[in-house]
Every structure is written in C-alpha cells, then in structure tokens.
Structure 1
Amino acid sequence: MRGSADTELTVEPDETTAVPPSLWASWEVRQAVLHSSPGMVIAIARRARGLRQDQLGIMAGFSQSAISRIESGGNLAYDVRVLRIFQRLLSIPAHLLGLTEDEVGIAPIDVRRPRTNDCPPTLVQNIMGGALDGHGLLMACAPAAFNAGRDDARNSSPINEEVVRQLLFLRRVVNDADSWISSSSMLPAVRQLYEFVDRLRPLAKGKWRTQILDIAALYAEFCGWLHLQTGDLPGAAWWTERSLQQAQAADDQQLVAYAYRRMSMQAELEDDDDRAIGLARAARRHDGLDPQLRAMTLQQEAQSQARIGEEAACLNKLDQARKLVEDITPVRTPEYRLGSWFQVRHVELQRAACCVDLGRHREAIAQYEHLRNEGTPTCRWLLGVHLSKLAFAHASTGGMEQASIAGSEALALASSSGSILISRELRKLHPWSKVSSIAGILNALP
C-alpha cells in the first residue's frame, strides 16, 4: 500500500513484490557481500520488493531515518539482532547478511561444551566431535554408561566410585547439552539414560545403592525439566514427582528441595501463584541447604510474588538471595552438582524480570542494559525469557523499535530451543499486535 509521507501506512510482507531467486546471485548483491555491506544488501532487497524506506520502517518498527542509516552502513547495519529482523521481513538468505541459519546474536557462553580436561577418556572424542542431536548425545554417552555398568571380574560389585563418577559426569553432559540441543530432541536420550541408571540399582549394595538411587533421581528431575520446556506439564509433574520420591528414599535433602522448587515453577506456569509460593517455601524448610540452592528458592518465591503485585516481599526475597551468593565464586567440576552455576548475576536478572511484572518498566530496562553492558552470559532458554521481558518493557514505554529488536532475538532463541517458556513470554506482546514488526514476531512463534 502506498500513500503520502504524512499518511500512516500499513504494509504487510505479503503485499510486497516477489523477488526472483536470481536477485541473490546478481552482480549488485555479490559486490555488496564482497564489500561486507549488509546495509547495501537490505537496500537492494527493499527496492526489489517495491518498498520505500518509510514503508520498510513501518514493517520493521524503525523510523525512516533509521532505515537510511542502516542502508548507508551505520552501526545498526552490523547489529545481528537488527539484521535478523530484515532477513526475516525481506526473505534475504542469511549468509548474504553474514548470519548463520540459527544465529541468535549472543553466544550462550555461560554453559559451554565439556572441556577435554574435564572428560573421562571414553567420552572425549565422542563429545568433542561437533554439534549433536539427541540421538547423537545418547550415542556419545553410551560407551561410558555401559562401561560404568559392566560387571568387572576384578571387583566384588559392578558399582563403585568410578561408576558413580562417570554417571554424574554424564548428568553434567546432558545438562550442558541443554544449551545447544532442543529439549524435544534430548528427551528420548535422557529417558534412556534414566532407565539405564535405574536398572543399575539392583546391582548396587550398601552405600552404592543409595548413590545410584540419588543419581537416578537427578536424571528423573532433568526429564521433568525437559517435559516442562516442551510444554508437557503432566509429563513434567510425573517426572518431578518421581525425582522427589527417589530423592527422599536416598535422603538427599538438597535434591528434595530442588524438586519442590521445580514444582513451584510448574505451578506458576499453571497460573497458580499461591501454590507456587507455598512450594518455594516448602523447599526452604529442609535443613542444611547450600547457599546457592537456598537463594534459588528465594528467587522462585520472589518471581511469584511479583506476579501478584507483592512488591515489598518480592524485593526483600531478592535481597536475601543476593546476600547468600554475593561472595560465592561458582566452581566448575567434572561431575554434576545442583545449583553450582547460580550466582549474583542470576539474582539481578530476576530482579529486572520482577520489575517488569511489577510495572516498573523503565527500571527494568535500565537493569537489563546494565547487565548486558557487563556482558552477562546465560543459557539459551533463560536468555530468551529475559529478552522477551525486555521487549515487553520497551513496548510498555513506547519503544517499539527496541521492542522489535529484543523480541526478534528472543524469537530466534524460541525457535532453536523449542522452549515454551520463551514463547509464553513473547505472547504477552499481544497488546501491540497491530504494530507490524510485533505482529511478525507473534505470527512466527512456534
């Protein structure tokens, strides 16, 4: 649709002229790529679709002057989040803008793949060979797992300290894999690993039986988490309950508390905030909790209190959580340990999220920008949730351009991870669905 510069324009992507595939191989595009000019590629694609700069700006949530600066090679032309918006709107092949097909703009460097000096020798070559899907993950873990369960004639029992160490290492491997493999892809592999560990219990005696039971509970807890990520709340509840029962049988109070915290998350997803608060408090009633785990339960309670508008109680819980972990430096160990990754930056990310839920949007934006300037790394699903929160805060204060950028980046993470936690937050942008760039994000949600 065309109109005067003073007329509000509504331009949807399907109203534009189709672009012949030959355009991407044209001399003009090749020269733009050769000179590393993504802005020029965007300009070529825009003109090929019969759009003016102001029309493209309306579609993308940018001003006409911003589009001009992007096409002229300004700083925004090299922002991955911005490029992703135009790549989607104009159907530009990703590589022509210097993007990969699954580029999300911020590398999840907080949770990395296992380093070779952390790994048992049986896993090094399998794990470090490249990106794995769920089947590949299981195949990588299988040699160590079945080695672990082998009845060695030199031992009176097939279950010993080395078996426990390898099974805990595998639990850390699958936890780390959550940063680069989608939850739905991982579920079959993790379920099979749980079933294998659970079958080891009859082979174990004395203290080893208790340890195998506890490790089985750790795998069951992670199965529950993966079901939650994919939106299967009944499955999440079943596996978390199983984890709780096995943790209680093993007398592991840390894992019992963690299971209650996970149940609190599930109650929140069911919009039962009172139950979520009660479960978070139940988690803290267990004696001897590690400071990091206690802080995580405080943060979980604060999150639900923010949702029901209990501002003072929410901020008090976050202050308590921060105090518990502010002097702790996370220690990376080869074996999995509950909550070992949790530190101050996670509390401060939650503080920003709670500010969004409490309606303190400008404060939330300032907090998120402060954390981003510090280079705060985080895992993929959590990054997506907070980018969605940031998009909502920007939209609430009229910053549609910034909302589109943050929302598009969150959308890329939702698509690659399959996390319903991200999608759920992005759907809260619905009040601004008449803005073309926001409508594009909502329509593209998985």
Structure 2
Amino acid sequence: MSQAQLRPGNTRFIDARMRRGWHAQADVAEAYAHHARMLGESATITVRQVRRWESPRPGWPNRAARRVLTSMFGLPLDELGFAPPRTTPGHDEELEPVRERERGEDPLRRRLLLGGVLGSIAPLLDPAALDHLAAARASARRYADRHLVTHLRAALDEAARTDGHKGPRQALPAALGILAAIDEIARDAPSTIRRDLLTIGARAAEFTAWLHRDAGAPPQSALFFHDRAIEWATLTGDGPMHAYVLLRKAQATERDDAARMRDLAHAAAQGPWMLPPRARAEALQQEARALALTGCTPELVARTLDQAHDALADAPPAEPATCTGPLCAGYNRDRLMAQSAICHREAGQPERAVALLQQHLATGAFAPRDRAFFTAHLSGALADARQPDEAAATALTSLQLAATPNFGQALGELRRTVTTLRPYARRAAVRELRQALTALPG
C-alpha cells in the first residue's frame, strides 16, 4: 500500500456530513443541489466531487461552492477541512480582496465577507455592529461583549421579519451567518457573555430549522438544527426553550407519524418545565391535532382544545411577536381558533373547520405567511366537504400569497388540496388550480 493510501482523508468534512444524516456521498450531492437552488446557484456536483472533497487534499472550492457549502453545513469552511490557497500573483481569486479595496469596499464588510458565511449577516448590521463582530471574531475573549449580543439579537429579529414577508430562502443565509458567528465567538467568550450568546443561539438554531423545513430541505437538516437548539437551551438551563423546541419538532412531524407528533407535543405541554401560557396553549393545540390524526374521538380532541383555551385565558396581554422575545408572545385567540379548525378537519369535521376558518380569516389580523397557510387549509377543508369549485378558488387565493415568497407549508397544503380534488379534475376551476401549481418553479 502506498504512502498516499495510508493518509487519512478529510475527516472534518466526513464527520460534518455524517452528523447531518448524509450517510452516503450521494446524499451530499443531493443536499448540495437543493441548497444551490435555494441560493440561486445553478451549479450541481457529482459523487466524484464529494469524493474529492473527502480526500486528503480537498482543494479550495470555488466561490459558488463556498457559498453553497456554508449554507448546507452552517460552518466556516476551515471547519470542513478546507484551507484557502496561498496568495499567488496573477490568480484572479486571490486578487479579489485587492480589487474590493480598490473599489472602496467597506473594510469591515470586506473582513466579514472574507470570513465566509458570516458575511451573510453583514447587510443586517450597522457599522458599529460590524465593528463588534469583526473584533469579536479576531479575539472573542477580549471583544465578545454585551453590545455584540444586542446586535446579534437585532439581526435575528430582522431575519425573522424577512422570512415573514419574503420567505425562507431569503432569510436562510442570514440565519446561518448568525449561527456561525455565535458558534465561533462563544467558544472563547467569557462565561457571562457565552451564556447570552448561546441563549440567542438556541433561538437562531430553532429558527434555522424552521427555515429549512419551510424551504423544503430534507428532514435531516431541520433535525440537526433542532438538536443544536436543544443542546444550547440545555447548556443555558432554559427549560421553556427546551420545551418550545419539542413543540416545533412536533409541528415539523409529518401527518403519517402522528404518534410521534402527539408524544412531542404532550412532552412540551406537560414536561418538567413551565412553558409560558401562550406557548403552552399552542402545545396543547398541537397535541389535539395529533390526537385527531391518531383516530381519537372528536370529543377528546375538543377537550384538549378546551385546555388550550384555558391556558390562553391565563396569559398576560399579547405582545408583538419577535424571534428573540417571549415565547409565542403574539399567539392569540384568532390563531388558536384557526389552528383549532385544522384539528376539527383532521378529526373528520370539515364543515366545522370551514366555518371557523372563514370567520377568523375574515376578522383576524394574520401575517402574510399565516394567512396563506390558513387559507390553504380552508381550501382543503372545502375540498373535504365536497365543495370543489369554492375549494379551488380559495386555493388560488392562497397561492397568490404563497408563490412569490415560496411559503413551503402553505404550498404543501395546496398540493394536498389538489390531491383531494382529483375526482373533480375536469372542472375548470380545479384544472386552473392544478396548472397554476404545476407552473411553479422547483
């Protein structure tokens, strides 16, 4: 055996992809293609390229590949076993920093961009925040201070607002950048600052899991970030956040695994922690939906929903919802009633679901994403109630809200509606809906 054969490969890359559930090199190539589409990159890779990255000499990926890899893994490239090439006169890529300086590029912005994925949050930070972040990356123990914590919290809230209006693919690079910054800076930060960073990190990891799910990423991606959120919540002793991640995992569970959904939601609501009343109300509602999916009686589903309403009645006044504020601070009666309608639909009571959704969509104030999602469920309930033309027209209304920002959960429900409407496929409204969904990119 030659000396080259005895050398280990790029174990950092291999370990990172195994932790994300990509057990085969083909899984990496598939995930790469998905993230490239999300980021607007047209390039794909083959298993041969993955094999090259896992070799003892993986080389330095090109610009597009660097962007996609950092989106996939949420890690700086050096933690994936890559090392940038040494400066070589005449090499275009190595002259890029010089050209940026000649163009008058903000040096703080440039330092972040050269750091890889951290540059994705640069547009969300003001110059003072960029200064704190650049300094913290250079010497975390010295510069990781509460000003940086404040800036990262604001950046995460801004990323959440971006997601709510423009969709997950627009917000995902920033969320990954925030996670990468926290992961890097927290390692050497003073203990008091480290705790604050990991507290934000748990919120950012849960949010990133949601973005992956809504963008249609493989389930392993969301699972990885949910696990990171639970790890950081546990390290900081944040029991309510730990429970909240269980709730979000329940919401991410597919309908055909209702027992797991029920167990997760029940643990979130009844576990050894004290969820805030609004979050507990949402957890109980999710448990009610899971009970409906497991075939429990409508009476048991209704009793569980009554518990959710009781929990909401004990809550302090609602606050504007933010990613870093009180858990489920904006959860209100309109949202609970809309989600209750979904539970009734799953329990085989579509007419009741239609009445509730029509009432609360008409009177409630919902963010664009939520309105698209609940309108999609209304279309499905109408289809279940054998009102195909109204179901198709309602679905097209939801599609107008969901298509451009690519709200994945709403689009998924609309595809479920089309499946329910198959017996009416020849009707003009149903045919129009099917063609509109088929025409969507990706």
1:111-164 alpha-carbon deviations (Å, 9 max, x no partner): xxxxxxxxxxxxxxxxxxxxxxxx987513364643443559xx9952333332
Question: Which of 399, 411, 414 is equivalent to 1:423?
Answer: 411
Aligned-pair Cα RMSD in Å: 2.5
Q: 1:224 to 1:142 in 2, by over 3 A?
A: farther
Q: 1:399 to 1:137 in 2, by over 3 A?
A: farther
In structure 1, the gaps of 5 or more residues are: 1-134
Is 1:295–1:322's contact at 8 Å kept on the other side of the alignment? yes
Match of 1:303 in 2: 289
Match of 1:412 in 2: 400
Q: Does 1:362 align with 2:339?
A: no
Helix, strand or coil at the partner of 2:343: helix
Helix, strand or coil at the partner of 1:289: coil
What are the equivalent positions in structure 2 for 1:11-410 lying under 5 Å apart? 138-141=122-125, 143=127, 145-149=129-133, 151=135, 157-232=142-217, 233-268=219-254, 271-284=256-269, 285-310=271-296, 311-326=298-313, 327-332=315-320, 336-337=324-325, 338-374=327-363, 376-410=364-398
Q: Name the CA distance, whole Å, in 1 between partners of 2:400 and 2:339.
A: 21
Q: Name the CA distance, whole Å, in 2 between partners of 1:335 and 1:423.
A: 23
Deviation for aligned residue 1:235: 0.7
Helix, strand or coil at the partner of 1:189: helix
1:214-261 alpha-carbon deviations (Å, 9 max, x no partner): 211211111110000012111111111111111111111121111111
Q: Name the CA distance, whole Å, in 2 between partners of 1:293 and 1:234.
A: 25
Is 2:125–2:155's contact at 8 Å kept on the other side of the alignment? yes
Deviation for aligned residue 1:347: 1.0
1:33-92 alpha-carbon deviations (Å, 9 max, x no partner): xxxxxxxxxxxxxxxxxxxxxxxxxxxxxxxxxxxxxxxxxxxxxxxxxxxxxxxxxxxx
TM-score (norm 2): 0.64
Q: Name the CA distance, whole Å, in 1 between partners of 2:253 and 2:416.
A: 19
Query: How many correspondences in the alignment?
Result: 308
Q: 1:136 to 1:247 in 2, by over 3 A?
A: closer
Identity %: 23
- Residue identity in the other structure for 2:133: G
Deviation for aligned residue 1:275: 0.7
Match of 1:106 in 2: none
Is 1:237–1:266's contact at 8 Å kept on the other side of the alignment? no
Q: Name the CA distance, whole Å, in 2 between partners of 1:156 and 1:274.
A: 45
Helix, strand or coil at the partner of 2:166: coil
Is 2:384–2:420's contact at 8 Å kept on the other side of the alignment? no
Instruction: Considering Cα pairs closer than 8 Å and 6+ residues apart, tell me whether 1 or 2 has the greater RCO.
Output: 1
Match of 1:48 in 2: none
Q: Name the CA distance, whole Å, in 2 between partners of 1:363 and 1:351.
A: 10
More helix as a share of residues: 2
Q: Name the CA distance, whole Å, in 2 between partners of 1:341 and 1:222.
A: 16
In structure 2, the gaps of 5 or more residues are: 1-118
Is 1:169–1:335's contact at 8 Å kept on the other side of the alignment? no
TM-score (norm 1): 0.64
Deviation for aligned residue 1:320: 1.3
- Residue identity in the other structure for 2:247: R
- Residue identity in the other structure for 1:325: L
Deviation for aligned residue 1:428: 2.4
Q: Name the CA distance, whole Å, in 1 between partners of 2:239 and 2:128.
A: 28
- Residue identity in the other structure for 1:140: L
Match of 2:82 in 1: none
Match of 1:439 in 2: 431
Q: Name the CA distance, whole Å, in 2 between partners of 1:180 and 1:276.
A: 28
Q: Name the CA distance, whole Å, in 1 between partners of 2:157 and 2:275.
A: 20
Q: Name the CA distance, whole Å, in 2 between partners of 1:258 and 1:308.
A: 22
1:176-222 alpha-carbon deviations (Å, 9 max, x no partner): 22121221232122111210122221342122211111211211111
1:395-432 alpha-carbon deviations (Å, 9 max, x no partner): 33343332122100111233123233112211222232
Deviation for aligned residue 1:354: 1.4
Q: Name the CA distance, whole Å, in 2 between partners of 1:427 and 1:293.
A: 29
Q: 1:186 to 1:144 in 2, by over 3 A?
A: farther
- Residue identity in the other structure for 1:205: P
